[in-house]
Amino acid sequence: MTGCQMRYLAFLSDEPQALAEFYQRHFALIELGRSNEGDVSLSDGFYNLTFLRRREALNEPHLENGLHHVGLQVDSMERALAEYRRTTYGEVVVDEPSGVHFGDVRFFDPEGMPVSVSEGGFGAPATREVRPARIQHVAFNSLLPQRILHFYSTVFGFREVTNSVKFRGRGRMNRFAGDGVTNLAIHPYFHDTEGHEARFGVNHFGFLVNDMDRRLDALSKEIQVAKRPANRPFAEYRLFDPEGNKFDLSQAKGWEVDIDVWEVDGERREGRFETGEPGTRQSMGGTA
């Protein structure tokens, strides 16, 4: 397994402190730092969640508020750069400010979406601290999911997981890949399924929790909480933060974070499951 892992998620916001406080309050995130410009970075023990104050000085090609881009820690910048140049035929490599709120270098995926890259861990704990709520899922909307999967596999060593192969078998465009911690879902932007919520680029992300009822109770006092339709193969709950960013909460369905490796109900399980199949310990008859 290569040492590349997704571990940074950046939001743009006009009120980054208030948004950061929402996530801190509900998911007990650790604060990594704040800048004079108003940026706030938090961690779940592995990810760096950065809320950037939206401003021209960021020099971003797209300056819409909301979920903005991901970041990856790479085992070797030299190797990642060589694969990036070979895969995208591109030379667009931009320096980032580094530090706790940014990566070291900016790549762009084949559809022009920004990707921060760093040899360091974005200021998050060097060794993963497994906390009660942790990010294990990131979902993109893209024009051609297969092309984005190829980019993440080639440049960052993501493995296409078993459920992705099943979607292929059903003629679907959706692709899923893992890096050992994150299940990366790549959904087609143009899709006519009812309930499909298009947003190009980073569409949403997801927390795995093991105390769903208590969390929903607290969240529902602040935001609207709706259970996902039972026929959808994805996480149990879809929520919208106070600025409309989408996130999933999952406990019993979990996510396939590597080939036949699942994070579900607070633990890691190996096996060839359907999405939603691993279930809770109770429904497995109390085993393992």
Q: Give me the sheet containing 267-270, strands edge to edge.
A: 255-258, 261-264, 267-270
**Cβ 272 to Fe ion, closest distance in Å?**
21
* 139 near Fe ion, judged by CB under 5 A: yes
Q: Are 29 and 105 in contact (CB under 8 A)?
A: no
Distance CA 32, CA 49 (A): 9
Q: What are phi and psi of 245, to 5 degrees?
A: -70, 140
**Cβ 264 to Fe ion, closest distance in Å?**
14
For Fe ion, the closer CB: 80 or 139: 139
For Fe ion, the closer CB: 139 or 261: 139
Residue 138 DSSP one-character state? E
**Cβ 76 to Fe ion, closest distance in Å?**
30
**Cβ 197 to Fe ion, closest distance in Å?**
10
Integer CA distances (angstroms), 266 to 22, 171, 216, in order: 23, 32, 16
Per the DSSP assignment, residues forming a β-bridge with 118 are 73
Residues touching Fe ion, count (CB under 5 A)? 3
Binding mask 190-229 for Fe ion (x = CB under 5 A): ----------------------------------------
Please list every residue from 250 through 279 that binds Fe ion, using CB under 5 A: none
Binding mask 223-242 for Fe ion (x = CB under 5 A): -----------x--------
For Fe ion, the closer CB: 39 or 248: 248
Closest CA to 132 of 42, 239, 210, 206: 210
For Fe ion, the closer CB: 84 or 140: 140
For Fe ion, the closer CB: 39 or 179: 179
Closest CA to 80 of 126, 110, 111, 119: 119
* 186 near Fe ion, judged by CB under 5 A: no
R_g over Cα of the chain: 18
Residue from the set 179, 236, 248, 258 that interacts with Fe ion by CB under 5 A: 248
Q: Are 177 and 130 in contact (CB under 8 A)?
A: no
Judged by CB under 5 A, the stretch of 36-44, 106-114, 139-147, 279-287 that binds Fe ion is 139-147
Q: Is 248 left (phi over 0), alpha (psi -120 to 50) or beta?
A: beta
**Cβ 204 to Fe ion, closest distance in Å?**
6
Judged by CB under 5 A, the stretch of 67-75, 126-134, 174-182, 246-254 that binds Fe ion is 246-254
Q: Give me the sheet containing 246-250, strands edge to edge.
A: 159-160, 175-178, 183-188, 133-142, 201-209, 246-250, 237-240, 225-227
Distance CA 171, CA 24 (A): 40
**Cβ 242 to Fe ion, closest distance in Å?**
20
* 160 near Fe ion, judged by CB under 5 A: no
Site residues (vs Fe ion, CB under 5 A): 139, 234, 248
